[in-house]
Amino acid sequence: MTVESTAARKPRRSSGTKRAAGAASAAKPAAATAQTQDAEPQLVQLLTPQGDRVDNAENAEFAPFVADITTEDLRGLYRDMVMTRRFDGEATALQRQGELGLWASLLGQEAAQIGSGRALNDADYVFPTYREHGVAWCRGVDPTNLLGMFRGVNHGGWDPNTNNFHLYTIVIGSQTLHATGYAMGVAKDGADAAVIAYFGDGASSQGDVMEAFNFSAVYNSPVVFFCQNNQWAISEPTERQMRVPLYQRAQGFGFPGVRVDGNDVLACLAVTRWALDRARRGEGPTLVEAFTYRMGAHTTSDDPTKYRRDEETAAWESKDPIQRLKAHLLATGGADEAFFAELEAESEAMGKRVREAVRAMPDPDTMAIFENVYADGHALVDEERAQFAAYLASFESAEEGH
Amino acid sequence: MAVEKMSIAKALNESLRKALEQDPKVLIMGEDVGKLGGVFRITDGLQKDFGEERVIDTPLAESGIVGTAIGLALRGYRPVVEIQFDGFVFPAYDQIVTQLAKMHARALGKIKLPVVVRIPYGGAIGAVEHHSESPETLFAHVAGLKVVSPSNATDAYWMLQQAILSDDPVIFFEPKRRYWDKGEVDTEAIPGELHKSRVVREGADLTLAAYGPMVKVCVEAAAAAAEEGKSVEVLDLRSMSPVDFDGIQASVEKTRRLVVVHEAPVFLGVGSEIAARITERCFYHLEAPVLRVGGFHAPYPPARLEDEYLPGLDRVLDAVDRSLAY
């Protein structure tokens, strides 16, 4: 996509604010419907797929939010994406080797996750789905923590308050309400913080997501809804989820919606910083639609070749988020081959570490079934725990008898 | 001693007031809980005294109410949410069952979910569809939730505060047809345990176990049976999760007969579980099978038929006679 073609299209941002109200009201419903079929919809973009820096009227509001980004920062973003992809690839391999029961790959969505994840402050709070491995990386969550639930040794298992990163949520869209409630609490506390809720294009069909939009708007809560529109909800394309572009939905709830190039880490960083900044200033929620693509399967249990065309996947390969930043770094002299080689070695070492950690991960103790069901205890759980312990002990005493 | 006569509705209101006073993290949330004070006025005057930041009128969206309450609890608040009527809880059922009940375990105990979901429940007020249901079994079946129901003003006052103090999610069923029943409340007493049953009336020949709205019916049945020379003990279960099986067992070992009474359908109801457990625990003490009296396996009927659907004095006494006939 060229800069010119982007600029020529109609505005991509709807808003509840006075400033953009004119642009939003100018969009006709018929045109909006037609836009769902667009192969190249309008996006906030700062780096082209070729790695060229874009400066245009469309990104002018957001570009200042990454004006401070140094070459070293860009290398850092690149490192985050490479490490995340390596981790994700390792997990996929571990699933194929039978070490994990399931894996939800983020392949192709590294820029959306690293860009938005690096926009967060320490005090901000994240409510992820089950695919936010890159955001977890940005929060400093030990990658092996993410694998416990996929290996079947726990259902999450980490303390969300250690890194302000909530447990993965599997039921689609539920966490957008948790994020909204948490943000209501942040506002009550008068804290200088914001909350970000991740979800996908499929989740946008869920009632909970609409309720989260509405609650956050009504209470003016400091929450950013970050939708990674990866085009597919397992086998269902976005046409089965919506008739109008996702970001436009925010307008109906009374807050701004922005569509950003989800394969452009710099644009994702800028737009998310902008949205978080609004939230922290008390200007309420924002919907960010990161327009991206899931290059792999929904999870290791489905087969994308059954429901999508190779040409489509190939077209998105040319927009790869990592290659894009690499091209930019090479073209601007921001990094040399030594940097890339060093990073390759680092990511390989991380993959090895993860592999070893997963294989060493012990099964939980049998009696863990009864642990943490209740905080204050429960007579029935106590009774069943004692009965089951006695039952297990009966085998031991039987063995002793032989 | 500060003993005051008040209705269950007033006791709940006073209880919420005290909870709001004692802990700034306690919040009230729900539809119409602010200026109106709730459709049953349980939150009457609370927004006026504690402000819109503590007593929060919400959009009409039950999943949103419970889902945001979960988020507030994660932030350190103790939300008490009101579901307007029993039959309206189902849009929130997903959030309660898949999220609220499980999050503490999923985090290996690292986070707590002190959320109370208040639900006015049960029939006999002549209401329209979805306003008279008894869905307590659906919640008691879910590990991670605690489920309680007061039957009188004292319990209404104390059990609600205990539920708010609990670090576990508590589904708090309020017997709406008893809201206007008055009783003595000692606001300075030391309350009993939230999940212990209570002997309401001593008896020697048979135990009637009930909770919420049916306790009063059972007390009346015991009085009627006494006129026929039958000594019936009445047990107020108070808690459906956990159930105080020890308390029921103690009573049954004394009386040797048990009839469980609730408004909810008999099939797979709380009474079924109690019948099974007490049969296991008290097989050699029982003189008769444990009987159950409750609603039918049919949708809650139109109001003109609810007197037939709900267990009344006669159906309870019939079960008492059947048990004593063994």
C-beta atoms of A376 and B94 within 8 A: no
- Complex ipTM value: 0.96
Q: Does B24 touch chain A (CB under 8 A)?
A: no
Return the pLDDT at A40: 60
- Single-letter code of the amino acid located at A196: I
A42 pLDDT band, cuts 50/70/90, is confident
Residue A179 has its nearest CB partner, among B71, B112, B244, at: B71
pTM to 2 decimals? 0.93
Of the candidates B104, B131, B195, B262, the residue annotated as catalytic is: B131
Identify the H or E element spanning A28: none
C-beta atoms of A380 and B70 within 8 A: no
Q: At which residue do the structure tokens 């008898």 appear?
A: A401
Return the pLDDT at A397: 77
Residues of A in contact with B95 (CB under 8 A): 174, 177, 208
Mean of all residue pLDDT scores within chain B: 97
Q: Does B276 touch chain A (CB under 8 A)?
A: no
C-beta atoms of B166 and A376 within 8 A: yes
What's the gap in Å between the CA of B99 and the closest CA on chain A?
8
- Distances in Å between the Cα of A224 and the Cα atoms of A45, B118, B204 are 19, 30, 64
Return the pLDDT at A34: 39
Instruction: Give the CA count within 13 Å in the CB-facing half-sphere of A252.
Output: 10
Residue A180 has its nearest CB partner, among B71, B104, B167, at: B71
Spatial distance between the Cα atoms of A51 and B129, rounded to a whole number of angstroms: 62
User: Among residues A283, A286, A256, which one has the least CA distance to residue A272?
Assistant: A286
Q: Does A372 touch chain B (CB under 8 A)?
A: yes
Got the DSSP string for A50-107? TS-B---TTTTTTGGGGTT--HHHHHHHHHHHHHHHHHHHHHHHHHHTTSSS-----T
User: Among residues B188, B114, B189, B176, which one has the least CA distance to residue B150?
Assistant: B176
Q: Does B94 touch chain A (CB under 8 A)?
A: yes
Helix A110-117 vs helix A321-331: crossing angle, to nearest 10: 70
C-beta atoms of A211 and B69 within 8 A: no
Q: Tell which B residues from 183 to 212 touch A, by Cβ distance under 8 Å.
A: 195
- For chain B, the maximum distance between any two Cα atoms, rounded to a whole number of angstroms, is 60
Q: Residues B248, B144, A171, A185: is their CA dihedral positive or negative?
A: positive
Spatial distance between the Cα atoms of B52 and B35, rounded to a whole number of angstroms: 9
Is the pLDDT score of A30 beyond 70?
no
Query: Is the domain covering A34-359 a CATH 2.40.370.10 domain?
Result: no
Residues of A in contact with B66 (CB under 8 A): 177
Residues of B in contact with A225 (CB under 8 A): none
Is the pLDDT score of A13 beyond 70?
no
User: Among residues A266, A331, A270, A319, which one has the least CA distance to residue A292?
Assistant: A319
For an interface test with B, give the residue of A141, A153, A162, A184 to mutate (most B CBs within 10 A): A184
Per-residue pLDDT tens digits for B278-312: 999 999 999 999 999 999 999 999 999 999 999 99
Provide mean pLDDT across the span A205-231. Answer: 98
Could you tell me if B309 and B300 are in contact, meaning their C-beta atoms sit under 8 angstroms apart? yes
Q: How many CB atoms lie within 10 A of CB B167?
A: 15
Chain B: residue whose CA lies nearest to A210? B64
- 3-state DSSP assignment of residue A125: strand
For an interface test with B, give the residue of A127, A186, A211 to mutate (most B CBs within 10 A): A211
Q: Does A188 touch chain B (CB under 8 A)?
A: yes
Residues of B in contact with A130 (CB under 8 A): none
Chain A: residue whose CA lies nearest to B141? A380
Return the pLDDT at B25: 98
Residues of A in contact with B91 (CB under 8 A): 207
**Total residue length of chain B:** 326
Paired residues of A180 in beta bridges: none
What's the gap in Å between the CA of B141 and the closest CA on chain A?
12
Residues of A in contact with B242 (CB under 8 A): 378-380
Annotated catalytic residues of A are 294, 298, 307
Return the pLDDT at B254: 98
Per-residue pLDDT tens digits for A73-121: 999 999 999 999 999 999 999 999 999 999 999 999 999 999 999 999 9
For A126-224, where are the alpha helices, taking DSSP H only?
133-139, 148-151, 160-163, 174-189, 207-218
- 3-state DSSP assignment of residue A265: helix
Phi and psi dihedrals of A198, rounded to 5?
-95, 145
Provide mean pLDDT across the span B44-57. Answer: 98
Could you tell me if A49 and A318 are in contact, meaning their C-beta atoms sit under 8 angstroms apart? yes
> Which stretches of chain B are assigned E, i.e. beta strand?
3-7, 26-30, 55-57, 78-82, 116-121, 146-148, 170-175, 182-186, 198-201, 206-210, 232-236, 239-241, 258-265, 291-295
Return the pLDDT at B115: 98
With b meaning 16 or more CB within 10 Å and e meaning fewer, what string describes B234-250?
Answer: bbbbbbbbbbbbebbbe
Q: Does A254 touch chain B (CB under 8 A)?
A: no
A399 pLDDT band, cuts 50/70/90, is confident
Instruction: Give the CA count within 13 Å in the CB-facing half-sphere of A198.
Output: 28
Return the pLDDT at A401: 61
Return the pLDDT at A5: 34
A376 pLDDT band, cuts 50/70/90, is very high
C-beta atoms of B106 and A171 within 8 A: no
Task: Give residue A51's Cα distance to chain centre.
Answer: 23
Domain boundaries, chain A: 34-359, 366-401
Is the pLDDT score of A12 beyond 90?
no
Q: Does B52 touch chain A (CB under 8 A)?
A: no
Return the pLDDT at A38: 45
Provide mean pLDDT across the span A148-153. Answer: 96
Spatial distance between the Cα atoms of A262 and A134, rounded to a whole number of angstroms: 13
Q: At which residue do the structure tokens 């031991």 appear?
A: A396
Per-residue pLDDT tens digits for A252-286: 999 999 999 999 999 999 999 999 999 999 999 99
Which residues have CB under 8 Å from B36's CB, separation 6+? Answer: none
Return the pLDDT at B57: 98
Spatial distance between the Cα atoms of A198 and A166, rounded to a whole number of angstroms: 11
Return the pLDDT at A119: 98
Instruction: Give the CA count within 13 Å in the CB-facing half-sphere of A3.
Output: 14
Per-residue pLDDT tens digits for A347-372: 999 999 999 999 999 999 999 999 99
* Cis? peptide before B242, omega within 30° of 0: yes
B182-186 and B3-7 strand pairing: antiparallel
Structure tokens at B155: 């319990």
Q: Does A177 touch chain B (CB under 8 A)?
A: yes
- Is B131 a catalytic site residue? yes
Which residues have CB under 8 Å from B137's CB, separation 6+? Answer: B240, B264, B268, B269, B270
What's the gap in Å between the CA of A130 and the closest CA on chain B?
14
Return the pLDDT at A398: 74
Mean of all residue pLDDT scores within chain A: 90
